């Protein structure tokens, strides 16, 4: 039972904006936003999870077969904004340092 809960938590956190921008590499976050054709050019490291979620929402709507999946995404992303905001607040000292040392995560090339 504990293993199932841990796997469920891992699956839920893998889509979290904070995990995408802080834990994973910069290229992974940039690639995922480029694939969504987000209009964002860069994501600052300070509150990067919340910014990532808004950049995810700031993408053109998909047409065709995947349109129904994209229609339900804003509700899920808005829930993730709250969770990312909490995690980003906890990680604020680290992300302040990373912003100063490395700058923002560049999306466009």
Read off the pTM: 0.78
Give domain status of residue 35, yes or no: yes
The verdict on residue 51 lying in a domain is: yes
pLDDT at 57: 84
- The answer to whether residue 73 sits within a structural domain is yes
**So what's the pLDDT on residue 81?**
85
- Is pLDDT above 70 for 43? yes
pLDDT range class, residue 36, cuts 50, 70, 90: confident
Radius of gyration, alpha carbons of the chain: 14
Domain-located, residue 45: yes
Q: Does 89 fall in a domain?
A: yes
Residue 8 lies in a domain: no
Residue-level pLDDT at 90: 92
Q: What is the mean pLDDT of residues 77-100?
A: 90
Higher per-residue pLDDT: 109 or 29: 29
Is residue 2 one of the residues assigned to a domain?
no
Largest CA distance in the chain: 45
Q: Is residue 17 part of a domain?
A: yes
Q: Which residue has the higher pLDDT, 49 or 15?
A: 49
pLDDT value at residue 14: 54
Domain count across the chain: 1
Buried b (16+ CB within 10 A) or exposed e, 65-77: eeeeeeeebeeeb
Residue 50, domain extent: 13-106
């Amino acid at each position: 039972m504990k293993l199932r809960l841990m796997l469920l938590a891992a699956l839920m956190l893998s889509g979290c904006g904070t995990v995408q921008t802080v834990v994973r590499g910069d290229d992974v976050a940039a690639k995922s936003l480029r694939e969504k054709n987000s209009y964002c050019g860069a994501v600052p490291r300070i509150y990067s999870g919340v910014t990532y979620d808004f950049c995810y929402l700031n993408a053109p709507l998909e047409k065709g077969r995947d349109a129904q999946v994209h229609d339900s995404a804003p509700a899920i992303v808005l829930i993730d904004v709250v969770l990312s905001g909490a995690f980003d607040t906890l990680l604020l000292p680290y992300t302040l340092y990373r912003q100063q040392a490395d700058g923002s995560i560049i999306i466009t090339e």
